[in-house]
Amino acid sequence: MNPILQTHHYLSKKTRMVSMPLLASLVLSATAYGANSSSLPIENLLSYRKQTAQVVINGTVKDAKGKPIPGVSVRIKGSGTVTSTDANGAYKLTLPIGNEILVFSYIGFNTQEVRPGNKTTINIILEEGNSGLDEVVVIGYGTVKKKDLTGAVSSVKAADIALSPVSNPIEALQGRVAGLDIERSSGKAGASPSILLRGNRSINGSSTPLYIIDGIPGNITMLNPNDIESIDVLKDASSTAIYGVAGANGVIIVTTKKAIDGKTQIDVDSYYGVNGFAKFPKPLMNDAWVQYLKDKYFALKGLQANSLIDLDIAANVRDAINAGQWIDWVDETLRTGIQQNHHVSLRGGTEKTQAYMSLGYIGEKGIYKSDASQIFNVRAGVDVRFNKLLKAGIQTTFNGKNIDATNSRINKAFGVPPVGEAYNEDGSVKLYPLGTETDKTAGYVSPIANYAPGVLVNNTKNLNLALNPYAEFTPIKNLMIRSNLGLSISSSRNGTFQNEKSYNLASESRINKEASYSTGLGYSYIWENFATYNFVLENDHSFTVTGITSMQSTKNESSTTSVDGLDYDKYLYYNLGAGKNVTGRGTSYSEISKMSYAARLNYSYKGKYLLTASNRWDGASQLFKHWSAFPSVALGWRISEENFMQDTKSWLSNLKIRASYGGTGNDGIDPYQSITEVSAKTAASNLSLGGTSILPIYVLKQALGNFELTWEKSYSTNLGLDFSLLKDRLNVSVDWYHTHTDGVLYKRALPTTSGGFDAKNSYIKVSNIAKTENQGIEFTLNSRNIVNKDFQWSSALTFTKAKEKLKSIDLGNSVSADQLISENLFVGYPLKTTYDYKKIGVWQLGEEAEALKYGAKPGDVKLATVPRNDANGVSDEGVHTYSAKDKMILGHRNPDWTLGLQNTFVYKNFDLTVFVNMRYGQTINAPILGYWNAVAQPASYNYWTPTNPTNDFPQPGSTMSSNYLSALSIVDGSYVKIKNVTLGYTLPKNVGSKLGISRMRIYGTAYNPFIYAKSSLLKDVDPETGGSDSFPLYKQLVLGINMSF
């Protein structure tokens, strides 16, 4: 049997062995309970309880000074019924008559529980204290109060997520979680940001965190940001080890909004934004461009050009200049974009049954024509409490995407002269701005050629469906058994078409219309069963024990076909059979299966001494060494609860230290890398085998299998300190971490003597031969600076200082240092190290003799050099002609530190939020800075001339080797941004109630309004993109509304 299929069979069999007893135990426990209880026989296990009488409770919530507290959470303990106080501190809640308990909670105040009894009016006075410690944090396979947390976990609530007008919820976390590094490197419609949690650990493996959505691994891009209740980020190994081989890159747990019982609540969230004002260099125009041409001419010829005729430019370019036919191709390429998000949700129900449904639409038109994205979301869920023993429910999520992409790029604007006619007389795009379609040699292809209708089409459609049913069984007090099932299916289709008038084909004078069609299908399931038991011994010893089994399988298949020679544009990509030539075709299939067991113990002694220990065993079909274990342990000490600390309660309300150690794995390994595969190949001539002439039909693929391949394993130590001051007005968390990763994957090149059909082929073998190291400090501060009836001011600060390095790599005899250098890998340095020439200025007049020693002249870029020793060991002190040996390590892509700062001000019904994001100590390779010598020079680039002795950019037209000009693009990418500013107004409750609205808020947001780059060379570039010359980041103005009925 195929080893992969055999492993899959083995894992499936093991799953049946483990999961079926759990399911059986659930049924048997129910039977046993029914057999021993006269009050609930088994035949009534799924019966509904009778409807109980209800009563309306109202009242107010105030602080110790008698001031109303708005936004206090009022909920019925043990149920989903919840409301909040209005601006006057008033609330109203309907609850069943009985022994229900009301829970009043608000950040910065002690939580209070009240049993109403026969009262219908209950007024509460909340005392300031450490109520924030009673907040519940979601961890793997459970929850824990913040005060009992032993790991490094950060939480972000829905209100903070809603502040950023983004289509991807993860982008809203930028700067809000210490240790989480998020960048949006592209302004493309619907683009996803890059994300790293505590740095890079892997060279060839994945660095993407694991996303858990409502307890099941999922795709966060399927969610509308308005469907999210909270996001919890698990950072240290003690928190992520429960996820085993999937936890090395951190875990992001998303809790979505759920149903509530009580009156049906309708929420409407909508905004409309205008995108534009992108930071990008403008081209020289008019006399400035002519002068630029003259300066280039002087550099090349050593002569002054007195007229246009003296310049080496085409006659039609001169004619266009004389006719004043100027074109700003940057303006012609960019446009004003639009982004909108409309979301409506309904939730409500009874004590027994609650339901939730939402519809969402996110539409974005990018800053390029034909760059657009549409996302449709539908979510529905229902939870049913059958009786005290059994609860079940299902969550369904459907997501559809329609993406129109463009091959237009703003960088083309600097590759052509800024003269000619952009449009024909009828307003259509002119393909050759300086010529005609019958005289193509007289001009250049328009950078906006693809903007003409039907010239280029690139459309992608994605459909995703996820079903997550669950059943929760409580056979005895404090024992909960839960079974989760996650089913998902996704399909994608991409079609492309371009005709002879598209930019690419016209530039290459190709006349055959081209089209391609690709499809993909993915389907997966995950079935997890876990049981949690809580118990207390002698009032002081609290235990929570959790056992888990998990089984999952993922399958993906795809196919693609491309042709050229189509006769009609109307075919697009729907009639590939009409193509004259098949230029490409292929199919693929992959399958991964995994089985896991896990156990965790949470222990607390007197609420002061905390212990968390876990272990997970994972087996997977990607590897021949299927199984591995991932243990962890964490300790916590709530020092503030000690008797000797009681005198500090007036100013130190909480003090806790934490320590953890654990191991996790990285399952970002492609399937089938453990085995050697073959592929079909046609030989130029027959081979002779035993006197028989044969064709070598199959040959080894370049990547050879490795039976010894195993997981990348990360071992992490985390030390943490949490403290709260001034009755929780100031809350601080500090974490130090150190992670070392063993068995890092690297594609080792093998000697040509290793064999194979083609001796010239350089075979590679993915091997566990490297080690990496990460360490850093994370700081989080939350403060309530001013709190009174009419005005509140709060702040949130995150700071991260991190380092990473490639600790070692086993080169052996087959991996050369040059190979590592070509991949920017250096032992002792970060994984994303920048290695290039270092620019230190421009050679000036008067330095001719010195410049000549380096093979340069005034106006050329001045480089730092690396000293060399001659045959006698004597150094030349770095004085020599520039060469490739003068490249050096210049920095690294990841920043030395990042900072996020949010200030929120509330005055009566007005609120203002300002969020600032900073990155410092990152080196970027900015392609846009390489256009200093382009056909169309950026206007802001201060270049050298004999009369302008600048050190910014060298002389245009320089005859210096272009090999050294890569130094111009290497620059300090540090920056500070005001990421967003939001001003809102909440309608007074008494006004809204007359309109049938329980809450309404209108707001305006300025997104990316201000950017300051440390390097003056980036004054017209947003450094968050890394200086990209393709999709600049935009600024955005948004108007929105939030309403509840």
Tell me, yes or no, whether 200 and 93 share the same domain: no
Burial class (CB in 10 A: 0-12, 13-18, 19+), 869: exposed
According to the model, what pLDDT value does residue 289 have? 92
Q: Which stretches does DSSP call E strand in 116-260?
A: 124-125, 136-139, 142-145, 153-157, 180-183, 194-197, 210-213, 216-217, 228-234, 251-256
Give pLDDT tens digits for 811-832.
Answer: 776 666 677 888 889 999 999 8
> For residue 748, what are the β-bridge partners?
765
Whether 946 shows a pLDDT value over 90: the answer reads yes
Please say which residue of 235, 259, 283 terminates a domain: 259
**Is residue 16 a part of any domain in this protein?**
no
Whether 406 shows a pLDDT value over 50: the answer reads yes
According to the model, what pLDDT value does residue 30 have? 38
**Tokens 């050629």 sit on residue:** 449
Helices (H), 216-335: 237-240, 286-301, 315-322, 329-333
Tell me, yes or no, whether 122 and 226 share the same domain: no
**Is residue 827 a part of any domain in this protein?**
no
According to the model, what pLDDT value does residue 3 have? 39
Share of the chain above pLDDT 70, in %: 89
Whether 18 shows a pLDDT value over 60: the answer reads no
Q: What's the mean pLDDT in 494-512? A: 91
Residue 531's SS3 state is: strand
* Distance (Å) of CA 617 to CA 245, 246, 550, 561, 599: 9, 12, 10, 42, 9
DSSP string covering 71-135: T-EEEETTSS-EEE--TTSEEEEEEESSS--EEEE-TTB--EEE--TT-SB--EEPPBS-GGGG-
**Tokens 């650990």 sit on residue:** 201
Tell me, yes or no, whether 81 and 182 share the same domain: no
**Is residue 59 a part of any domain in this protein?**
yes
Please provide residue 404's backbone torsions phi and psi, each rounded to the nearest 5 degrees. -105, 120
Find the domain containing 239 and state its range: 136-259
Whether 24 shows a pLDDT value over 50: the answer reads no
CATH number for position 168: 2.170.130.10
CATH number for position 88: 2.60.40.1120
Tell me, yes or no, whether 111 and 142 share the same domain: no
Helix, strand, coil % in the chain, rounded to nearest 5: 15, 45, 35
404's CB contacts (< 8 A; 6+ apart) are 370, 371, 372, 373, 457, 458, 459
Give pLDDT tens digits for 154-183.
Answer: 988 888 888 778 888 888 888 899 999 998
Q: In this structure, are residues 155 and 232 in contact, taking their beta carbons and an 8 Å threshold?
A: yes
Q: Within the chain, what is the greatest distance between any pair of CA atoms?
A: 109
Distance CA 615, CA 603 (A): 15
Q: What's the mean pLDDT in 188-206? A: 87
**More confident: 836 or 3:** 836
Tell me, yes or no, whether 251 and 147 share the same domain: yes
> What total number of domains does the chain contain?
2
Whether 44 shows a pLDDT value over 50: the answer reads no
**Is residue 81 a part of any domain in this protein?**
yes
Residue 569's SS3 state is: helix
Whether 38 shows a pLDDT value over 50: the answer reads no
The pLDDT confidence band at residue 439, using thresholds 50, 70 and 90, is low
Please provide residue 474's backbone torsions phi and psi, each rounded to the nearest 5 degrees. -120, 85
Tell me, yes or no, whether 87 and 142 share the same domain: no
CA dihedral 624, 627, 628, 630 (to 10 degrees): 140
Give pLDDT tens digits for 109-148.
Answer: 778 888 888 888 999 998 765 445 667 778 888 888 888 8
Whether 21 shows a pLDDT value over 60: the answer reads no
Please say which residue of 221, 244, 259 terminates a domain: 259
980's CB contacts (< 8 A; 6+ apart) are 163, 164, 165, 913, 914, 915, 1005, 1006, 1007, 1008, 1009
Tell me, yes or no, whether 163 and 97 share the same domain: no
Give pLDDT tens digits for 447-468.
Answer: 999 999 999 999 999 999 999 9
Tell me, yes or no, whether 229 and 158 share the same domain: yes
Tell me, yes or no, whether 142 and 162 share the same domain: yes
Q: What's the mean pLDDT in 96-108? A: 77
The pLDDT confidence band at residue 12, using thresholds 50, 70 and 90, is very low
Q: What's the mean pLDDT in 838-847? A: 95
According to the model, what pLDDT value does residue 995 have? 83
* Distance (Å) of CA 85 to CA 59, 70, 892: 9, 5, 50
**Is residue 405 a part of any domain in this protein?**
no
Whether 5 shows a pLDDT value over 60: the answer reads no
Task: Of 345-354, 579-588, 692-701, 786-795, give the lowest mean pLDDT range.
Answer: 692-701
- The token duo for 13 is 């069999």
DSSP string covering 422-439: SB-TTSPBPSSTTSBTTB
Distance CA 494, CA 221 (A): 18
Please say which residue of 128, 148, 169 terminates a domain: 128
Give pLDDT tens digits for 320-332.
Answer: 999 999 999 999 9
6's CB contacts (< 8 A; 6+ apart) are none
Give pLDDT tens digits for 262-321.
Answer: 778 889 999 999 988 777 888 899 999 999 999 988 888 888 888 888 887 888 888 899
Tell me, yes or no, whether 107 and 161 share the same domain: no
Tell me, yes or no, whether 122 and 141 share the same domain: no
**Is residue 204 a part of any domain in this protein?**
yes
Distance CA 524, CA 218 (A): 10
- The token duo for 832 is 């994303």
Give pLDDT tens digits for 929-942.
Answer: 887 777 888 888 89
Mean pLDDT of the chain: 85
Q: In this structure, are residues 763 and 754 in contact, taking their beta carbons and an 8 Å threshold?
A: yes
Tell me, yes or no, whether 143 and 248 share the same domain: yes
Q: What's the mean pLDDT in 565-587? A: 92
Whether 771 shows a pLDDT value over 90: the answer reads yes
**Is residue 635 a part of any domain in this protein?**
no
The pLDDT confidence band at residue 472, using thresholds 50, 70 and 90, is very high
According to the model, what pLDDT value does residue 693 have? 65
Q: In this structure, are residues 403 and 375 in contact, taking their beta carbons and an 8 Å threshold?
A: no
136's CB contacts (< 8 A; 6+ apart) are 143, 144, 145, 146
Whether 17 shows a pLDDT value over 50: the answer reads no
Structure pTM?
A: 0.82
According to the model, what pLDDT value does residue 19 have? 40
Q: State the DSSP H helix or E strand holding residue 21, giving kind and residue range, or none if neither.
A: helix 3-35
**Tokens 């020679």 sit on residue:** 565
Residue 927's SS3 state is: helix
Distance CA 420, CA 317 (A): 8
Closest by Cα among 502, 395, 399 to 448: 502
According to the model, what pLDDT value does residue 993 have? 78
**More confident: 235 or 117:** 235
What single-letter DSSP state applies at residue 338? Answer: E
**Is residue 85 a part of any domain in this protein?**
yes
Distance CA 1013, CA 1020 (A): 9
- The token duo for 565 is 């020679």
